[in-house]
Structure 1
Amino acid sequence: MNESETVVVTGFGPFRQFLVNPSWTAAQGLKLVGLGERIDVYTKEVAVSYFKTQQIIAEIWQTLKPKFAVHLGIARGSRVVILEQTGKNSGYKDRDVCGFCPESHCCVEGGPEKLDSVVNMRAVAKHFKQAGMDVIYSRDAGRYLCDFAYYCSLYHGQGRAALIHVPSSGSLASADRLVLLLQSIIQSMLGQLEDPSQTT
C-alpha cells in the first residue's frame, strides 16, 4: 500500500534586518513545488527563540512523526547553499530575538556533545558541486538558532534531519532558483534514506 509520508520543512521567522526571513520564504516555496509523489510537505515557521524552537521541534517529532525533517536557516553574507552534517549540543551563548540565552548554554542537558545526520551531506554536496551548483558541505553550523534547532531535531528524530543554510546574497538568493535547487537537494537526501548505497 502506497501511503504518503510526511517531510517537515521549517524556516525561521523575522531576524535582525530580515523582516521576512529568506529561509521561511524558501520553505513556503518548497511546499508549493512539492517533493514528489506520496510526500506530504508540512511547513512550519520557527521563531528565532531558543525556548520556542525547543518546543516546536519536540512537538513536530512527537505529533507528526515525519520520515525526515529539513531545517532551513539563513547564512548571512553567504552566496552558496551549505549542507550541515553535525548539530552541536553546547556553547550557545548568543542571545535570541527575545534577549534570552539558555542557562545551561546547551540544547539537551545530558545529551551527546555532537549528533550527525543519517544523510551523508558530503556526498550530496559533492554530487551538486560536480554538476556546477554552488553547494558546499560543513560540519560547523554556527552555534546559534540554526545549530540549536538542528541538534534538537537530530536528537528527537534519531538523526533523520538536515540543516541547510541558504544564501542571503548572490544569484541563489532569488527565491525561484533557490527553491528548485533545494527541491533537488532534498530529493537526493530522501533517495539516500531509501537506499543508503546511494552515498557513493
Structure 2
Amino acid sequence: MPGPEESPAGDTLPDPAPLYVLVTGYGPFSTYEVNPSWLAVKPLHDTSLRTLDASARPIHITALEVPVTYTDVLSLTPGFHSRPPVLPAPPNEPTSASSRPPAHGFDFVLHVGVAGSGPMRAEKRGRKVGYNSPDAEGRLCPAIPTDGDGDEGARNATPSPGVLHRFARSLYAYLKSPTRGFGKGYEDFPEELFTKVNTEGLLQYLKETGFTQIVPSTDAGLYLCEFINYCSLAEAKRAAPKNESGKATPTLFLHCPPVDQPLSTQDVTAVLQKVVSWVCSQ
C-alpha cells in the first residue's frame, strides 16, 4: 500500500482527505444460516484501502449486515444516504473513529447479495414493483394502493348464487391481486432505476487484473437483492441535492455465488476490495 507522498524538500505530506465507503451484505435466510454475501463483506469492516490513481487517497470501509426483510430495507436504506448517515450500532462491537459514519455522507455505497452458482454479477437495474415473494420472516412486500381499491360497490355487490358466480369471484380476486413494491414516498420515482457506476469499465478493469468470473446483469431477481438495489438508488437520488456536488452517491449491487460455487469467500472479498478501489478512483 503506497505511503504518504513526500515534498521536494523531503518532508512527508499529509494524506489527502479520506473517502468513506459503506458495504452491505445480507443476513440469514432460507438454507443459509450465514449468508455468503455477509461472509465476504464482514472482513472489510473497519479496514482501509487506497485509490488507484497517483493521489493514493485513503478509503475507509464500513461493513453492515442487513436482515433479509422488506421492512428492514425500507427503514435502514434512507439512513445510508443521509448526511450524516444513520446506521444501526453493530452488536457487541466497538466502533473506531475511522469507521464512524462521515458527516458529509458516504462517497460510495456497495450492496452485496447471494445468487445461484456461477460468476459474480454486476447489477445495472433496479425495478420498482413485482416483489411477490415473502421475505426471510415470511412477510410480503407492501401492496401499492390502486384507484380500484376504493371500489366498495364492486366488493359489496349482492352476490348471485351458483358455480358461475363463484368462478367469477375467484377470477376477480386473481385479477385484483395487489401490486407489491415501492409505494408511499416513492411515487415520483420511475419504474426502473440504473446505477451510475460505469459497470463496463469496472468489469474491464477486473478482467485486466485477472478476474474474469463476473458478468453484467439487468435482472437482479425481484427479491430482496433487487429491492435494496432500487431502494438505495432511489434514496441516493433523493439525497443528491444535499450533496456538495449535487450528484447522487455512486451506488452498486453485486451478486456473489454460494461459497465455492465456484468462488471462495476470500475470492469474493478480494474482488470487493478491487471494486471499491476502482470506483473510488473515478
User: If the length of structure 2 is used for normalisation, what is the TM-score?
Assistant: 0.63
Q: Give unmatched runs, 5+ long, in structure 1.
A: 193-200
Q: What is the Cα-based RMSD across aligned positions, in Å?
A: 2.0
Alignment of 1:20-59 (within 5 A): 20-31=34-45, 34-36=48-50, 37-59=57-79
Distance, in Å, in 2 between the alignment partners of 1:92 and 1:122 is 28
Describe the superposition over 1:127-185 as per-residue Cα deviations: whole angstroms up to 9, x where unpaired: 32454521111111111101010111111113521101011154653121221122112
Partner of 1:177: 267
Which of 202, 208, 213 in structure 2 is aligned with 1:124?
A: 202
Distance, in Å, in 2 between the alignment partners of 1:191 and 1:2 is 13
Q: Give unmatched runs, 5+ long, in structure 2.
A: 1-14, 51-56, 86-104, 145-179, 238-247
Distance, in Å, in 2 between the alignment partners of 1:31 and 1:66 is 14
Structure having the higher strand fraction is: 1
Distance, in Å, in 2 between the alignment partners of 1:54 and 1:119 is 23
Going from structure 1 to structure 2, the CA distance change for 1:103 and 1:121 (only over 3 Å counts) comes to same
C-alpha contact 2:48 2:58 (8 A) present in aligned 1:
no
Query: How far is 1:49 from its partner?
Result: 0.3
Partner of 1:71: 111
Going from structure 1 to structure 2, the CA distance change for 1:137 and 1:25 (only over 3 Å counts) comes to same
Q: How many residues align?
A: 191
Pick the structure with greater CA Rg: 2
Distance, in Å, in 1 between the alignment partners of 2:34 and 2:193 is 30
Distance, in Å, in 1 between the alignment partners of 2:222 and 2:49 is 29
Query: How far is 1:5 from its partner?
Result: 2.4
Structure having the higher helix fraction is: 1
Query: How far is 1:32 from its partner?
Result: 6.0
Tell me if 1:148 matches 2:227: yes
User: If the length of structure 1 is used for normalisation, what is the TM-score?
Assistant: 0.87
Distance, in Å, in 1 between the alignment partners of 2:228 and 2:76 is 9
51-60 or 31-40: which moved more? 31-40
Going from structure 1 to structure 2, the CA distance change for 1:182 and 1:49 (only over 3 Å counts) comes to same
Amino acid at match of 1:150: N
